Structure formats: structure tokens, C-alpha cells
């Protein structure tokens, strides 16, 4: 069985913030002189909610973190709790199920909850964590509707806690290098972006093919990479979308589950993005950015392994660091120290992607261009 997780790990070779201001880059080198990784500073103490395949990946990556530490677990499967407790040396008092989870409000040893449950549960679980006074890190997509995403932001604001979305690519070194070059004008006037995101999904009974739990098909799962990527690569916000849907297997890809969507986004200054999101083709993990003075090409562009690519001048050759390790250390610095991410990862960033996704679904259904402003 191939899932998005295994695909991105093994076979990956293939996005609505405002124009991003130039701000100092956060260093990712783990040196004693780097204040981000000062061993005397307390770590962000994190509980993972949802102990599935991606939760496992995050937990393993956190073993190498300097500012973030896994200290708590939330799962509806007792056997997982037991095995994770042993592997990660988690105390009994920091373990919860979905029924008693709200008691985490009385636990001063947990600072944040990383929600890695199915998309359709993100709103409930994130709001419960926020109402318990814990900072929230939520996997993308942050919700299944714009309304739910907005409510999550509102509750976190009311409770005075951070809401961060698991945009791991926003901390990846080669990705940041391309964004930095674009901001510096090295590609000239940006004209075009292409994003290809897809793989062949396996088990037809999995939650990603359940409309209630997933909120959609390939677009929610993998197409969001091209949406988000277009935004940070181009550096502005889309004004409109058009889309066309193709469905070859209406049994596997039932109503509410998109199989393949080809979509276009129009940006200011007549910049166009042309993208593909699919559950029916492998080896699609590619970004291409074209400007009047040069280009950047990344393939793979969002996979778990090393991100590879080149510009018109040279290869992208920053050393690979496990994305989730970097992400969690940087998010710890954001929560504990007030650091700013070079590419936003807050709830409002996630809300922007949700608005685009809803517009793409509308455009695919109606055949009409849908305005975003």
C-alpha cells in the first residue's frame, strides 16, 4: 500500500500569504554559539496527538531536536500508548486518551500539543488543546473548511495561545534559498510557476478517502503543497482560480473525494501558476519558477528526503536535515522566544490555503473562474 507518507518518503520527485517582507533568516546550524540552540534554555515540551505514521515520523525526528522535547501522548489506542511510553520514555501522567484529554489543562509539564489526527478532527482537537491553555501545532491542512479554520484561529487568539501549522517546507534550507534569491531579485520579474503534486493512493478504506475525515481527496492531502508552494515561490497572493477535475474511478474516489484536479491561479502583474493535484499518478513532486532573469527548479520539491534542484546559476546544495527536526526546533523558538518564521506558519497562513482550496473546488464544480478578492 502506498500512502502520501510512504510516497513522499520513498518516491517524491514533484502555497496565501501577503507579499512576504524581507526579514532576517533564522539560522539552522546547531552550534553552541547559536542562541536558538542554547542548551541552558528550556525546551518546548510537546504532546503528540495521533500516533499514526506521521506522528511516528515526528517523534523520531524530535529525538534530534535541541529546543523541542516529546513529553506527552494522546491516542485512542492503549497499545500504542504503551509502546510509545517505552520507546520515548514518557511518564504515565503525561498520557491521555481522547476522552480524558481535556484534563491536560491541569498538567504544567506540557506546553504544546501537536495535532496529527485526520483532517476532519483538526478543529475539535485543536480547540480542545487551546481551551486547555496549550499552544497548538496542527498538521496541514489545518481544517476541512474555511469556517472551521477561522474558528480555530479565533479560539486560540481568545485563549492567548499560539496556533502554528505544520508547514515543514517553510524551514527547509533549499526552499529558503530559492525564496531568498527571489526576494533579492535574482530571477528578475516573476512570470510563471508550475507545481506538480501527486502519487497513486492505495488502500481504498483509509481515512484519506473518507469525505468526512479527509474533507476532500488529493487536493487536501497533496495538492496543498502546490498551492502553498506557489504562494511562497511567487511571493504574492492569487487573485483568481480556475480548475478542471478528472475522475477515472468514481467507486474509489466517491463523491467528495477528488482524484485529479488541474488548476490555475492568477497572481498580480499577470503572473500565472499552473498546477496538478492527483491520487492517480506517481513521481509528481516538482516546482518550477520562471522569471525574466532566471529560474529555479526543484525535484523533489516537498518530499521527506533531500530537496534537490537548481537555479539558472547553480545547483541547490544545502545539506539535508530532517525536516521535522528543523520544524520543531524553529517552532519551539517561535513559541518560547517570539522568533519569526521567514515564511509564515501561523493559523492565518493555513486559513489562506483553505480559502484557495474551497475556491478551487468551486471552480472545478462550476467551470467558472472564481475570484479570491
| CATH assignment at residue 307 | 3.30.360.10
pLDDT at 41: 81
Query: Do 122 and 152 belong together in one domain?
Result: yes
Cα–Cα distance measured from residue 190 to residue 20, given in angstroms and rounded to the nearest whole number: 14
* 51-80 burial code (b ≥16 CB/10 A, e <16): bbebbbbbbebbeebbbbbbbbbbbeeeeb
| Residue 177 placed within a domain | yes
If asked whether residues 145 and 209 sit together in one domain, one would say no
Residues 92 and 134 in one domain: yes
In Å, what is the CA distance from 210 to each residue of 119, 203, 224, 351? Answer: 10, 11, 18, 22
d(CA 146, CA 359): 10
Tell me if 274 is assigned to some domain. Answer: yes
* Of 169, 189, 218, the domain-final residue: 169
Residue 13 lies in a domain: no
pLDDT for the residue 373? 82
Domain contains 129: yes
Total domain count, the chain: 2
Domain that holds residue 234: 170-318+347-371
Report, as residue numbers or ranges, the catalytic residues.
140, 225
Q: Is residue 202 located within the same domain as residue 128?
A: no
Edge-first strand listing for the sheet containing 315-316: 315-316, 309-311, 295-298, 284-291, 190-198, 271-278, 260-267, 240-246, 370-371
Q: Are residues 271 and 133 in the same domain?
A: no
**Same domain, yes or no: 174 and 251:** yes
Does residue 309 share a domain with residue 230?
Answer: yes
Indicate the helix (H) or strand (E) that contains 322.
none
- Concatenating the DSSP letter of every residue in 190-208 gives EEEEEEEEE-----TTSGG
Last residue of a domain, one of 169, 184, 213: 169
* Radius of gyration (C-alpha) of the chain in whole angstroms: 20
9, part of any domain: no
Per-residue pLDDT of the chain (373 residues; tens, 9 = 90+): 444 444 444 433 333 333 333 333 333 333 333 445 555 689 999 999 999 999 999 999 999 999 999 999 999 999 999 999 999 999 999 999 999 999 999 999 999 999 999 999 999 999 999 999 999 999 999 999 999 999 999 999 999 999 999 999 999 999 999 999 999 999 999 999 999 999 999 999 999 999 999 999 999 999 999 999 999 999 999 999 999 999 999 999 999 999 999 999 999 999 999 999 999 999 999 999 999 999 999 999 999 999 999 999 999 999 999 999 999 999 999 999 999 999 999 999 999 999 999 999 999 999 999 999 8
> pLDDT of 123-180, one tens digit each?
999 999 999 999 999 999 999 999 999 999 999 999 999 999 999 999 999 999 999 9
- Does some domain include residue 340? no
Q: How far apart are CA 11 and CA 368, in angstroms?
A: 34
Cα 118 to Cα 207: distance, rounded to the nearest angstrom: 7
Last residue of a domain, one of 144, 169, 194: 169
To which H or E segment does residue 259 belong?
none
8 within domain boundaries: no
| Same domain? 118 vs 196 | no
Beta-carbon contacts of residue 169 (< 8 Å; ≥ 6 apart)? 175, 225, 228, 229, 302, 307, 323
Shared domain check, 174 and 135: no
How much is the pLDDT for 28? 37
Question: CA–CA separation, 129 vs 104, rounded Å?
Answer: 8
Report if residue 189 sits inside a domain. yes
| CATH code, 165 | 3.40.50.720
The contacts of residue 146 (CB under 8 Å, 6+ apart) are: 351, 354, 355, 358
Question: What's the pLDDT at 38?
Answer: 56
Cis check for the bond before 141: say yes or no (omega within 30 of 0): yes
- For residues 178 and 281, membership in a common domain is answered with yes
Same domain, 294 and 180: yes
Q: Angle, to 10 degrees, between the axis of helix 53-62 and the axis of helix 323-337?
A: 70
Same-domain check for residues 121 and 208: no
| Residue 39 pLDDT | 54
Amino acid at each position: 500500500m502506498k500512502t502520501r507518507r510512504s510516497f513522499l518518503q520513498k518516491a517524491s520527485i514533484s502555497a496565501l500569504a501577503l507579499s512576504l517582507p524581507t526579514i532576517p533568516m533564522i539560522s539552522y546550524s546547531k552550534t553552541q554559539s547559536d542562541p536558538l540552540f542554547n542548551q541552558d534554555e528550556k525546551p518546548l515540551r510537546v504532546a503528540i496527538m495521533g500516533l499514526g505514521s506521521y506522528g511516528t515520523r515526528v517523534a523520531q525526528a524530535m529525538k534530534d531536536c535541541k529546543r523541542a522535547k516529546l513529553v506527552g501522548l494522546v491516542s485512542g489506542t492503549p497499545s500504542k500508548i504503551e509502546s510509545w511510553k517505552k520507546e520515548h520514555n514518557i511518564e504515565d501522567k503525561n498520557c491521555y486518551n481522547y476522552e480524558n484529554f481535556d484534563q491536560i489543562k491541569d498538567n504544567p509539564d506540557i506546553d504544546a500539543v501537536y495535532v496529527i489526527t485526520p483532517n476532519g478532527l483538526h478543529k475539535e482537537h485543536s480547540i480542545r488543546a487551546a481551551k486547555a491553555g496549550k499552544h497548538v501545532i496542527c498538521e496541514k491542512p489545518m481544517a476541512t473548511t474555511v469556517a472551521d479554520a477561522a474558528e480555530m484561529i479565533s479560539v486560540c487568539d481568545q485563549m492567548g495561545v499560539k496556533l502554528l501549522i505544520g508547514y515543514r517546507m517553510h524551514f527547509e534550507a533549499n526552499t529558503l534559498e530559492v525564496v531568498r534569491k527571489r526576494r533579492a531579485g535574482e530571477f528578475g520579474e516573476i512570470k510563471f510557476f508550475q507545481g506538480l503534486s501527486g502519487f497513486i493512493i492505495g488502500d481504498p478504506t483509509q481515512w484519506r478517502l473518507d469525505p468526512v475525515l479527509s474533507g476532500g481527496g488529493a487536493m487536501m492531502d497533496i495538492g496543498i503543497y502546490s498551492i502553498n508552494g506557489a504562494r511562497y515561490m511567487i511571493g504574492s497572493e492569487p487573485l483568481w482560480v480556475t480548475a478542471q477535475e478528472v475522475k477515472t474511478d468514481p467507486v474509489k474516489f466517491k463523491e467528495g473525494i477528488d482524484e485529479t484536479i488541474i488548476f490555475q491561479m492568477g497572481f498580480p502583474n499577470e503572473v500565472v501558476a499552473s498546477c496538478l493535484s492527483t491520487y492517480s499518478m506517481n513521481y509528481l513532486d516538482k516546482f518550477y519558477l520562471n522569471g525574466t532573469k532566471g529560474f529555479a527548479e526543484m525535484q523533489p520539491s516537498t518530499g521527506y528526503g533531500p530537496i534537490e534542484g537548481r537555479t539558472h546559476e547553480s545547483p541547490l546544495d544545502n545539506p539535508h536535515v530532517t525536516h521535522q527536526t528543523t520544524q520543531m526546533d524553529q517552532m519551539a523558538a517561535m513559541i518560547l522566544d517570539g522568533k519569526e518564521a521567514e515564511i509564515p506558519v501561523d493559523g492565518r497562513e493555513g486559513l489562506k490555503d483553505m480559502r484557495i482550496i474551497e475556491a478551487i473546488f468551486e471552480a472545478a464544480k462550476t467551470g467558472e473562474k472564481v475570484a479570491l478578492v
